[in-house]
């Protein structure tokens, strides 16, 4: 399994759009939409977990996320792994790969939004806040300093 940064106008980008549109998580459709729009800042990125040429997971690295009040940046979000591949630390590898990319882009901190407690702390993140998202739900906001 490898983590790949998705580049514009590539076969993997088209495969990721298809995977995201058809995955079991509703946020996948949003990822497919933003990939089709291709309206990214120069440093923003989308990463995919690829196994034997097939996409099995993804995450994004973006300036803003699903919040009317975006007082943090950059975000590692939209982290998803196909149910058949869960339990193999793929989410962890996606996050670590994205942190390395953030470091190369000279960021000193990264943020993750989630309604979960426990997982991101195992990845070295600390809960610092809660934000209400556009859907009206409250998410935990986690931060990790990049060393």
Sign of the alpha-carbon torsion through 86, 92, 98, 100: negative
20 near 29, Cβ under 8 Å? yes
Span 55-94, pLDDT tens digits:
999 999 999 998 988 899 999 999 999 999 999 999 999 9
- CATH number for the segment(s) 2-145: 3.40.630.30
Residue 15 has a pLDDT of 96
Q: Where are the alpha helices (DSSP H) in the chain?
A: 11-22, 27-37, 90-104, 119-122
Query: How many angstroms separate the Cα of 57 from the Cα of each of 41, 127, 128, 139?
Result: 22, 24, 26, 22
Helices 11-22 and 27-37 pack at an angle, to 10 degrees, of 150
Domain positions in the chain are 2-145
Residue 70 has a pLDDT of 83
Average pLDDT, consecutive stretches of 10 residues, N- to C-terminus, the chain (147 residues):
93 96 92 93 97 96 91 96 96 97 98 92 96 93 95
């Amino acid at each position: 399994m490898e983590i790949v940064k998705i580049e514009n106008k590539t076969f993997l980008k088209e495969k990721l759009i298809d995977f995201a549109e058809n995955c079991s998580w509703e946020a996948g459709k949003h990822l497919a939409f933003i990939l089709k729009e291709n309206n990214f800042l120069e440093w923003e990125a989308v990463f995919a977990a690829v196994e034997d040429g097939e996409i099995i997971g993804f995450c994004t690295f973006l300036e803003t996320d699903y919040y009317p009040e975006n007082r943090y940046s950059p975000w590692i979000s939209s982290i998803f792994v196909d149910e058949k591949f869960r339990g193999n630390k793929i989410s962890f590898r996606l996050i670590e790969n994205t942190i390395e990319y953030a470091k190369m882009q000279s960021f000193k901190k990264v943020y993750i939004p989630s309604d979960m407690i426990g997982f991101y702390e195992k990845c070295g993140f600390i809960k610092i806040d809660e934000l209400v998202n556009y859907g009206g739900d409250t998410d935990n906001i986690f931060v990790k300093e990049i060393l």
